[in-house]
Chain A
Amino acid sequence: MSAVEEVVTEAPAVEAVPKRAMTLGTGTSLLVLAALIIMPIFVKNFIIFQMTMLLIYGLAVLALNILTGGSGQFSLGQSAFYAVGAYTTAVLMEHFEVNYALTLPIAGIVCFGFGFLFGQPALRLSGVYLALATFALATAMPQLLKLNFLEHWTGGVQGLVVTKPDAPFGLKMSQDMWLYYFSLVVVIGIYLLAVNLLRSRSGRAFMAIRDNEIAASAMGVDVALYKTLAFGVSAAITGIAGSLGAIAVQFVAPDSYTITLAVSLFLGMVVGGVGWLPGSIVGAAFIIFVPNIAEGISKGLSGAVFGVLLFLVIYLVPHGARQVAILGQQLAGKLRKN
């Protein structure tokens, strides 16, 4: 009895977000989309590369958002799924000469299986315990990639160099720009799928588990299945992000996928607003650009400056970008009334 009581009285780890509040309005979405499509025409290749990385990290944060914001489970092991996706693509492209576009769904499927299997034992854990179990996965992954018997495929510590694809159909476009649009299409496709998933029956089941596991199971939700499913979906999307990341960076190595990456993704989710899908891009922007800003302020103390900036964000807007967006909306509403 006491265990049940404990669960019942435990404060929800993740604040309940109504599903309508998880996305942007149609008008705003189209505006953002238009900006994303037009922008590369005006900027340098280097900025396009950064924008591509923004999309890719945004996708990985989105995956975590589905897991944490949707089904209420924590994960500090996203870097492991990201690594599996990246290596799947790199090995398929470099050893089997598979077309890069085809490697994405394969990486997705591999990671789905991986995440689903990992979700099985993880079911017995919740909250911080689950976070710790996934943390273990993230710390183990770089070492697993260095294993001797895998070295023939993974290149060991040296990693693998990936060839960047040219634009197809004779399009006169730089590799960077092509990869940006390619990533954009993939990201938008997955974003739409994710929104629909959370609006569907399965999405409602995720959220019911997040809000109250016991109530959800009383309503007939198969808690075990949906929890592992959430893990699987999140892993699959992270894996696809990893694939795109491998192609964009043109290199995979165990050092690229350490626990730091997992923590960054987690941080991106919190800064973007837990459970608010569009916030994923804002969170990704934070983890890519804020370290650069911090470095610009002080090279020796970049970590400390980053910490201060992060602290300010969490202190001033604890719900991240979502809070800013809501404030903006309210302000716009007031102006309209006047």
Chain B
Amino acid sequence: MIAVRFQVVAFSAAFALCIAVAGPALAQKKYDSGASDTEVRIGNIMPYSGPASAYAVIGKTEEAYFNKVNAEGGINGRKVNFISYDDGYSPPKTVEQARKLVESDNVLLIFGSLGTSTNGAIRKYMNEKKVPQLFVASGASKWNDPKQYPWTMGWQPSYASEARIYAKYLMKEKPDGKIGVLYQNDDFGKDYLKGLKDGLGAKASMIVMEDGYDTWEPAIDEHVVKLKASGADIFISITTPKFAAQAIKKAAEINWHPVHIISNVSASVGGVLEPAGLEISQGILSASYTKDGSDPQWNADDGMKKFYNFLAQYAPKANKLDAGVVFGYAAAQTMVKVLQMCGDDLTRDNVMKQAASLKDFEPDTLLPGIKINTAADNFAPIEQLQMMRFKGKKWELFGDIISSDLGH
């Protein structure tokens, strides 16, 4: 009897001790796999090899940024362990790597994976597993679908938002214009076109012609000629760099001088406007949300100073002219912000909750005034852009920051 009673006492004492030890810990610190007192494991998938390997610089910049964060003491005392794998831009490989990250490396979340079809391949898996797929590096608008896919969130302005901004601009500046649209016949072009029509709303009849081209067409001259013949005085070119340059050249050749808007995808000076001809590119319009790393007007800017310091210290080989570096920096900064907001509650639930409660967050490399805002029903972090006009040898920003909300 005594022995038994002693056991009971011992047990209850042990139990009480457990509660005493675990109690406050439970109240403050909560972890899902991938997070601990010392570490947060973040997964990432990038095309380090294959056709899209030019974008791999985004992953490298993000890695350098997390190195900086770790060197400065980590996030709430925890070091970031950034595990980045190569998928060669092939969706089946993305699935393999995502499963490796989630099931073998036990990451807390997957951050910033690149590509539309690659992320499309793992979206269902991530949502079934309830692992956050945060800040997808793709401009498709489908990442903003919190009802069906509550574990997936985009980051950059979607193609549709960008198009809505052009629609807003045109309705204000040229309400009687006739719009001719040239679009690439794929997900990018169609997303864009839809955004443009949504943006124009009742004024969608401003579009007098929409003409699609396929990427395997060697030249798009005919399409440009057709658009001119339609009588359009606004030319929206929803094209990838090679075709954007062709369209600029052809329009000048046939002496067509409409208000010419090119998509942000093709707004590269070195990649599009220079090959097309700087002289004929004067006055072309586009929109942007990031600061241009090569533009001297930002030399005195605090955010960009931090960015340049970061490059000098942690990524000396990175090319500051590459838009991917600016992009990776801002995306990683957003990720770190979310983890800071999580505090000691590093569960996947809370990560999604915090990612959906960003308020007016301004990464260093985004244009002044562009703020990241999310909500439980809004998984599109960046929705603002600023119009810019090509003048001389560079883009000049003008006007206010425009939000893509349909409302105002």
Q: Which residues of A contact B (CB under 8 A)?
A: 44-47, 49-50, 53, 143, 146, 148, 156-159, 161, 245, 249-251, 253-256, 258, 260-261, 288, 291, 295, 299-300, 302-303
Given A251-B91, A253-B91, A299-B48: A49 and B96 within 8 A (CB)? yes
> Which B residues are CB-close (under 8 A) to A146?
186
Bound CA–CA A53/B118 (angstroms): 17
Other 10 A-B pairs with CB < 8 A, given A161-B124, A249-B95, A256-B121 = A49-B99, A50-B96, A53-B96, A245-B92, A249-B91, A256-B117, A260-B88, A291-B88, A300-B48, A302-B86
Interface centre among A44, A249, A302, by most B CB within 10 Å? A249
**CB distance B117 to A253 under 8 Å?**
yes
**Contact indicator per residue, chain B 115-129, by CB within 8 Å of chain A (1) or not (0):** 011101111110000
Q: Is B37 an interface position by the 8 A CB rule?
A: no
> Which A residues are CB-close (under 8 A) to B120?
158-159, 161, 251, 253
Given A44-B103, A157-B187, A295-B86: A255 and B49 within 8 A (CB)? no
> Which B residues are CB-close (under 8 A) to A47?
104
Considering only residues 87-112 of chain B, those with a C-beta below 8 Å from chain A are 88-92, 95-96, 99-100, 102-104
Number of interface residues of B (CB under 8 A): 36
Q: Which residues of B contact A (CB under 8 A)?
A: 48-51, 60, 84-86, 88-92, 95-96, 99-100, 102-104, 116-118, 120-125, 142, 185-187, 214-216
23 interchain pairs, CB-CB under 8 A: A44-B104, A45-B99, A46-B99, A46-B100, A50-B96, A53-B92, A53-B96, A148-B185, A156-B187, A157-B116, A157-B186, A158-B116, A158-B142, A159-B117, A159-B121, A161-B120, A250-B121, A250-B125, A251-B122, A253-B91, A260-B88, A291-B86, A303-B49
**CB distance B187 to A251 under 8 Å?**
no
**CB distance A45 to B103 under 8 Å?**
yes
> Which B residues are CB-close (under 8 A) to A148?
185
> Which A residues are CB-close (under 8 A) to B216?
143
Binding site secondary structure of chain B: helix
Bound CA–CA A45/B98 (angstroms): 13
Binding site secondary structure of chain A: helix
Bound CA–CA A253/B117 (angstroms): 7
Residue of A nearest to B122 (CB): A251
> Which B residues are CB-close (under 8 A) to A49?
96, 99
Residue of B nearest to A300 (CB): B48
Question: How many whole Å from A137's CB to the nearest CB in chain B?
Answer: 15
> Which B residues are CB-close (under 8 A) to A156?
186-187
> Which A residues are CB-close (under 8 A) to B89?
255
**CB distance A299 to B84 under 8 Å?**
yes
Residue of A nearest to B85 (CB): A295
> Which A residues are CB-close (under 8 A) to B96?
49-50, 53, 288
Question: How many whole Å from A53's CB to the nearest CB in chain B?
Answer: 7
> Which B residues are CB-close (under 8 A) to A295?
48, 85-86
Question: How many whole Å from B119's CB to the nearest CB in chain A?
Answer: 10
Given A46-B103, A156-B187, A300-B48: A251 and B116 within 8 A (CB)? no
**CB distance B117 to A157 under 8 Å?**
yes
Partner pick for A255 among B85, B118, B122, CB 8 A cutoff: B118
**CB distance A258 to B90 under 8 Å?**
yes
> Which B residues are CB-close (under 8 A) to A158?
116-117, 120, 142, 187
Bound CA–CA A166/B212 (angstroms): 42
Bound CA–CA A194/B342 (angstroms): 57
> Which B residues are CB-close (under 8 A) to A261?
90
Residue of A nearest to B190 (CB): A156
Residue of B nearest to A251 (CB): B121
> Which B residues are CB-close (under 8 A) to A249?
91-92, 95, 121
> Which B residues are CB-close (under 8 A) to A256?
90-92, 117, 121
> Which B residues are CB-close (under 8 A) to A44?
103-104
Partner pick for B124 among A53, A157, A250, A291, CB 8 A cutoff: A250
Question: How many whole Å from B318's CB to the nearest CB in chain A?
Answer: 13
Bound CA–CA A230/B358 (angstroms): 60
